[in-house]
Chain A
Amino acid sequence: TLLSAQRSHDAAPLCSKPVTELSLRSLANMGFTDIQAEQIYDSVSKARGGSTAKHVLSTLTALFSMGLNPSSVLKLLEKCPELYTVKEPQLQQRIDNLRKLGLVEGSLQRTVSHHPQILTVPVKTIKNVVVFLRENCLFTTHQITDILRDSPATLQENLDQLEYKFQYVYFRMGIKQTEMLKTRLFRFTLDEVRCRHTFLERRGLYQTPDKKGQTAVINPKLDSVLNIDLDTFLSNVAKASAEEYDVFQRLMAREWQEQEHYGKIEADS
């Protein structure tokens, strides 16, 4: 489209005329140093050969269109070489979609640099997750943007798993959306969350609130359960020994594995 052509033009001023052939020179023209250009050239040739090489330049152009400098682009590709194989129109569509979801300048770049895999996720998948977060978990648009920014890996999680994690924290732990956001809940795996929670619960230090939201003990804040290292969690919150938690983790892992196994057998029959 005219618009995206325009944008790539702005972002990569050194690339004055459209190039299609990948060469060290064309890379240098985009602003890469000789060494960087060689690195890219090498990885592309090692990747899938011919077909990749053809669209790599336009892919790079799309990455530049986010306003990243050459070394950031290179880092991104090193972190996530799959991006070489994504074609420009898709990439551009995905970037536009993230912008639409509220990842404006600054946060877009940070999110992508931190978790470039987000650009390998099809727009449709992201839309599904967003609808899910809005409709099943009742997050606001603003909160969803925060989730994308703080925990982009959420977009690649299995929706059933995500739902389970949300319901676990919402119903079992009695945590509201705002607090989930504050703690960046979605950065933690389900097992991390429920292991620490179950441990506290069995020690009598955490209770599921009743219908009126009341508990007989004062539950620790989600933040002080998840956002601290294990030693601090054990000494300040759980008041337990590392040995106890170590055994507990192994017991839980076995228990969950057996439940899963059992669940599968049930589903099959």
Chain B
Amino acid sequence: EKWATTRPKHPPTTLALQHFDSTYSVQLGQLWPSVRAALLSERKYGALLNHFSHDASPADLEAQGCRDFITDTDTQAQLCSEQEPEVRLEEEDGVSLKKSHADQQLSSLRLSPNIKCLVFPRGNITRFKPAKPDMLGYLGYYLMDAASMLPCLVLDVQEGHSVLDLCAAPGGKALALLQTQSIDFLCVNDTSVSRTTRLKRVFHSYVPKQLLSKQKLRITSFDGTKWGEIERDTFDRVLVDVPCTTDRHSLIEDDNNIFSKSRTGERRGLPQLQLELLLAGIEAACPGGEIVYSTCTLSQVQNQSVVEQAVSLALEDRGIQLQVVDLRPLTHMFRKTFHFAPDLHVGEMVIPHLAANFGPIYMCKLKRLT
């Protein structure tokens, strides 16, 4: 009787698992059991160091065995990826999806020295303690999936840039972007008012007021799909971190779950919403600007398909030519910390693994040529 369940027969978490079993076993094949076990087990976090806190010294965390994964890279991997580009050039992905030269990308992979994210090493399951406020009340670090740092790094923010974060709440990635301290103007948007309120609270616990002035930061609650109508050809960088099936979350939390019967319509509509958000982000970027699309789902329909459609629709309907940027140098660099899905047609994806239980995070970078 101890095992007789009192839960409803088909709780949303169970429906989510059934759905993933049928789609991901096909999509990931042999990899799925391993990813599945990781998704259903305790995840790992990363501690994004807050430069604005007096307690931001990583010494304490390093004493516990943590390391900054961004500087602790696989040097050997870097070497062999540098020898590779010639071979890669032969690959052609069709008319609209040209991958740029790998060697070009290597030199343009300038990661901000100010973003530091500490993680416990592979196989180590130690948990982080909650961050403590310094004497001014600023917290020393922000705990988040370390793989969510990658879209921020990939965005490659440079001195003087203006940046749009189209779906920003609760603000983890925006906080990472602020750490670079090179952004001229940051615009953070999220359609949900309650979530933007939460984002503001996060900002106030991490960032000094003078950096949150109207000249430097704008926080809005618009429907992101409409952005192209408001402000076109404007931003140097646009992050489009869309709502998705939040795979990990959907497997553990029944409340408010996207797989509950009452949200079926919303769930089915996700790829369309994602496409519209990405297209709006593309329009918001200036010619020559760069857009990063990211999700925390493994779903091909919400990842690669959305990007592919956006690329062709941008050209057909809006005359915007895009280039898919090759992120392989980056995956090579960080393969000591993350497991990446092999051979995606466009973009890169961190897949969960018990020994490195981060992700899933999908990301794809587009460069506006026109």
Contacts and interface: CB of A to CB of B under 8 A. Distances in A.
Nearest 5 CB-CB pairings of A with B: A171-B3, A203-B33, A202-B37, A202-B40, A244-B354
29 contacts: A164-B2, A167-B1, A167-B2, A167-B3, A171-B3, A172-B3, A202-B36, A202-B40, A202-B41, A203-B36, A203-B37, A204-B21, A204-B36, A205-B33, A239-B33, A240-B34, A243-B354, A243-B355, A244-B34, A244-B37, A244-B354, A244-B355, A247-B123, A247-B354, A247-B355, A248-B41, A250-B125, A254-B125, A255-B42
Given A203-B36, A204-B33, A247 B125 contact: yes
Interface in A89-136: none
Interface string B104-134: 0000000000000000000101000000000
Interface string A228-269: 000000000001100110111011001100000000000000
B23 to A, nearest CB: 13
Given A203-B34, A204-B25, A244-B354, 10 more contacts: A167-B2, A203-B37, A204-B21, A204-B36, A205-B33, A243-B123, A243-B355, A244-B37, A244-B353, A247-B354
Majority SS at the chain B contact face: loop
Nearest to A170: B3
Interface string B347-367: 000000111000000000000
Interface of B: 1-4, 21, 25, 32-34, 36-37, 40-42, 123, 125, 353-355
Interface string A184-219: 000000000000000100111100000000000000
Contacts of B353: 244
A251 B41 contact: yes
Contacts of A243: 123, 354-355
A154 to B, nearest CB: 19
Nearest to A244: B354
A168 interface: yes
The range of chain A's interface size is: 20 to 34
A211 B42 CA distance: 30
Contacts of B34: 203, 240, 244
A248 B3 contact: no
Contacts of B25: 204
A67 B130 CA distance: 66
A251 B2 contact: no
B360 to A, nearest CB: 16
Contacts of A167: 1-3
Contacts of A247: 123, 125, 354-355
Nearest to B17: A204
A251 B33 contact: no
A206 to B, nearest CB: 11
A244 B354 CA distance: 6
Contacts of B42: 251, 255
Given A243-B355, A244-B354, A247-B355, A171 B4 contact: yes
A192 to B, nearest CB: 18
A28 B33 CA distance: 65
Contact of A251 (B21, B32, B125): B125
B125 A168 contact: no
B125 A204 contact: no
Determine which residue in A240, A244, A250 has the highest number of CB atoms from chain B within 10 A of its CB, and name it: A244
Nearest to B39: A202
A171 B2 CA distance: 9
A239 B25 CA distance: 15
Nearest to A250: B125
A202 B20 CA distance: 13
A158 to B, nearest CB: 16
A55 B3 CA distance: 49
